[in-house]
Amino acid sequence: MATAISNAARGSFLDVVKLDHFAFKLEIYKAFIGMKQPEPDGISDHHNCRLGKWFYEGRGAQECIDSNVFRQLENPHQTVHQKGREAMQALVDGDMNLARQALDAMEEASLRVNDLLAQLAAERCMKEYPHQKKPQ
């Protein structure tokens, strides 16, 4: 039972992370359609979003470090944030060609992040904590 709850919690957390990245991209697109002021410096880096904190400091770093899928997350996740910032800066600079290229790269990296998160949800990289030990 504890394992089932743990797996459900992990899946729910990874779903929240996916929604966070959708919201991150939505804020960028809002600037492109004039719903908000473009602020490249206001875009979080890949260390400071929920996924980044989990990856670098939280349970992900503690529990999944040996997972190949987990390790593959870093580069595309960083790219999502980097290209989002580049797109926003290109918008400020009026370079729509560069902005489009950055948005395309952001979306491609985002698809990879979502794919890896789905793979990670199916993996059993999360360690069980003492309160989750199976009854003997």
Q: Is residue 132 part of a domain?
A: no
Q: Is residue 85 part of a domain?
A: yes
Within 10 Å of residue 75's Cβ, how many Cβ atoms? Answer: 13
Q: Is residue 95 part of a domain?
A: yes
Copy the structure tokens of residue 40.
Answer: 């490249």
Who has greater pLDDT, 62 or 76?
A: 76
Q: Is residue 134 part of a domain?
A: no
Instruction: Give pTM, 2 decimals.
Output: 0.84
Copy the structure tokens of residue 77.
Answer: 């996740």
Domain range enclosing 107: 2-127
Q: Provide the domain count of the chain.
A: 1
Q: Is residue 99 part of a domain?
A: yes
> Which CATH number covers residue 59?
1.20.120.30
Q: Is residue 19 part of a domain?
A: yes
Residue 121: pLDDT band (50, 70, 90) is confident
Q: Is residue 135 part of a domain?
A: no
Q: Is residue 23 exposed (0-12), middle (13-18) or buried (19+ Cβ within 10 Å)?
A: exposed
